């Protein structure tokens, strides 16, 4: 094939990720070789249980002849994982397996200067255990980019990006700063310029209802409005702050490519109401392009063969270009 491969870390073994991966490679053709980092035994057993049939090309962790790979078989780097049933309840049992999978995937990316990385979902409760807020922050720590990453939920019609990610609401205001807003807007603008040759039209919300409050020194006055004014001087295409309860109206969303919110559910809730899971999660600011399907492990659907691969299809097609 000769194209740069896409490294895929399957993540939580007791999630729907392998199911949607099987569905994706069955229905879609990808030019870039796909390399799955997962348990071979688990892949085989879930494949059999779900009624799929693919051959597996097992490759070594130190494999380096990537130009010879194609997608006629599943290219797989095996990570040992012991299980009793191929569909089990999520627990901390899989933590070492998930960590090793990420370590191997990131090592391949680093050693070969690759730029395309996908991961399946993990359990924040069991795998992250409060040490990091999410995989966005986990990968930032792994690549030593702690303060320079942004979560982008990308859709061609409208994208969103929360300034803070998986924080408790009571802590959000503590993590909003002018510098964080500058970095966020800069990363997003660079991403759009590089991938779409355009300067994105960005809207930004306030933190408080109606972008105002009845107390002195609110976040809009102290942080958000001054940051927007500074960014406009620097020639970024940004407007706001907008009240979060109106910015997603039809009148506004046609005007912007992207909406930045102050916290996770402020922008992801309306995004999913408008587009469902027709979006991909991209981490900006890493040394590579990290993309993941915009959904979690979805353990309630495990083994039922009813999960929709649409988000993974979009993630793979994005990187395949």
pLDDT band per the 50, 70, 90 thresholds, residue 293: confident
CA dihedral 43, 47, 49, 50 (to 10 degrees): 130
Q: What is the pLDDT of residue 124?
A: 84
The pLDDT of residue 2 is: 62
DSSP codes of every residue in 77-120: EE-----SSSS----GGGHHHHHHHHHHHHHHHHHHT--EEEE-
pLDDT score of 18 = 97
DSSP calls for 143-185: TT-TTS-EEEEE-SS-EEEESS-S--HHHHGGG--HHHHHHHH
Share the mean pLDDT of the chain.
92
Q: Which pLDDT belongs to residue 248? A: 95
pLDDT tens by residue, 1-44 = 568 999 999 999 999 999 999 999 999 999 999 999 999 999 99
pLDDT-derived band at 79 (thresholds 50, 70, 90) equals: very high
- pLDDT of the residue at 178: 97
At residue 74, the 3 state secondary structure works out as strand
* Per-residue confidence band for 141, with pLDDT thresholds at 50, 70 and 90: confident
Q: Is the pLDDT of residue 114 over 90?
A: yes
pLDDT at 58: 97
Q: Is the pLDDT of residue 130 over 80?
A: no
247-263 mean pLDDT: 94
Given pLDDT bands bounded at 50, 70 and 90, which one contains residue 128?
A: confident
Q: What is the pLDDT of residue 95?
A: 94
Residue 145: which pLDDT band, with cuts at 50, 70 and 90?
Answer: low
Average pLDDT over residues 191-200: 94
The whole-number pLDDT of residue 213 equals 66
Which domains occur in the chain, in start order?
1-148+285-321 (3.40.718.10), 150-280 (3.40.718.10)
Say yes or no to pLDDT of 161 above 90: yes
298-315 residue pLDDT tens: 888 888 999 999 889 999
| Cα distance between residue 17 and residue 12, in whole Å | 8
What are the pLDDT digits (tens) for 58-70?
Answer: 999 889 899 999 9
Which has the closest alpha carbon to 121: 216, 200, 9, 246? 9
Residue 146 has pLDDT above 70, yes or no: no
* Collapsed DSSP state (helix, strand, coil) of residue 318: helix
Give pLDDT, residue 185.
Answer: 98
- Backbone φ, ψ for residue 117 (5° rounding): -140, 130
């Amino acid at each position: 094939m000769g194209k740069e491969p896409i490294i895929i870390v399957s993540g939580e073994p007791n999630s729907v990720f392998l199911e949607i991966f099987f569905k994706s490679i069955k229905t879609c053709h990808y030019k870039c070789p796909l390399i799955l980092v997962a348990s071979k035994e688990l892949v085989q057993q879930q494949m059999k249980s779900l009624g799929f049939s693919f051959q597996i090309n097992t490759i070594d962790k130190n494999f380096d002849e990537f130009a010879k790979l194609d997608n006629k078989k599943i290219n797989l780097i095996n990570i040992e994982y012991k299980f009793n049933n191929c569909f089990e309840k999520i627990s901390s049992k899989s933590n070492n397996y998930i960590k090793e999978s990420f370590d191997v995937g990131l090592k391949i990316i680093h050693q070969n200067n690759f730029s395309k990385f996908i991961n399946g979902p993990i359990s924040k409760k069991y795998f992250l255990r409060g040490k990091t807020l999410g995989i966005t922050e986990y990968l930032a720590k792994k690549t030593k980019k702690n303060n320079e990453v942004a979560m982008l939920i990308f859709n061609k019609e409208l994208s969103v990006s929360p300034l803070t990610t998986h924080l408790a609401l009571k802590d959000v205001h503590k993590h909003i700063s002018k510098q964080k807003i500058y970095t966020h807007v800069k990363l997003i603008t660079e991403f759009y310029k590089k991938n779409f040759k355009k300067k994105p039209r960005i809207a930004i919300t306030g933190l408080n209802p109606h972008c105002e409050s009845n107390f002195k020194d609110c976040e809009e006055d102290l942080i958000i409005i001054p940051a927007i004014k500074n960014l406009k001087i620097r020639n970024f295409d940004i407007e706001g702050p907008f009240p979060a309860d109106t910015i997603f109206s039809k009148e506004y969303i046609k005007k912007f490519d992207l909406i930045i919110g102050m916290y996770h559910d402020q922008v992801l809730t309306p995004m999913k109401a408008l587009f469902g899971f027709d979006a991909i999660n991209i981490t900006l600011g890493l040394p590579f392009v990290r993309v993941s399907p915009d959904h979690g492990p979805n353990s309630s659907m495990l083994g039922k063969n009813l999960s929709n691969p649409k988000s993974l299809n979009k993630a793979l097609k994005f990187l395949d270009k």
